[in-house]
Amino acid sequence: MNRPSSIKAVAFDLDDTLWPVAPIIDRAEKAMIAWVAGQYPHLAGQFDINNLRLLRASLVAQDPALKTDVLKLRRGTIRAAFEEGGEDEAAADRAFEYFREQRNRVEFYPDALPALERLRPHFRLAVISNGFADLAAIGIHGHFAAVVSAHEVGVSKPDPAIYAACLERLGLQPEETIYVGDDPHNDIVGPNTAGMHAAWINRHRRPWPEEHAEAGEPAQFRDLTELTDWLLAPH
């Protein structure tokens, strides 16, 4: 299958596309809990991992929109835990910033950085993410002509407005951009609905979900090296 000749930009998801996110979050949470135990030992009970999960679930039950605003949810959970322990928001925000610093210590998939280096001379690169990774802190901000985060624009994938915000910053039409990600709903069906092309990074050889059968199977690749080879192949 040849790539569409109209493509001028490649937009990326981050978590589980450029790096595996679960180990990053697990390590960052454990580091924050240890930091809180050292700084505020009386809060050890509030910062049990199970209690944090209960607090998070309670906040989502009160405000379902938090489920897709992970920055606000993470900060709110930490503030709730500090409030339970009688500490103020300023202390909670210090803990959140520590978590955020740890969360930005990512370990890339081995194919990720080489793919960005190869694609950058040929396409404008962008990011559309529901998360709150700081690309400047991570050290890859310079690769991207546009970075769009859900907490910044007030909507999250798969809302068409978040893809539109990226296209506006790039100054391109939907058919001139391909979105690359691992999640069938947010990263394939969502961009397609917004008129963009989409490529599925299917590292674990999952079948295309039955719930999206009507959308048809997208172009799919086992990793970003295979995607890059496809994008750069001569027509």
Percentage with pLDDT > 70 across the chain: 100
Whole-model pTM?
0.93
Domain end residue (candidates: 103, 132, 160)? 103
Is the residue at 221 inside a domain? yes
Whole-number pLDDT of residue 67: 79
Per-residue pLDDT at 2 exceeds 80:
no
Distance CA 217, CA 152 (A): 31
Question: What number is the average pLDDT over the span 96-110?
Answer: 97
Distance CA 176, CA 104 (A): 30
- Do residue 226 and residue 160 come from a single domain? yes
Question: What number is the average pLDDT over the span 127-156?
Answer: 95
Question: What number is the average pLDDT over the span 129-144?
Answer: 96
Give per-residue pLDDT as tens, 28-55.
Answer: 999 999 999 999 999 988 888 888 889 9
Give per-residue pLDDT as tens, 148-162.
Answer: 999 899 899 999 999
Is the residue at 59 inside a domain? yes
What is the extent of the structural domain holding 165? 9-19+108-232
Count of other CB atoms within 10 angstroms of residue 62? 9
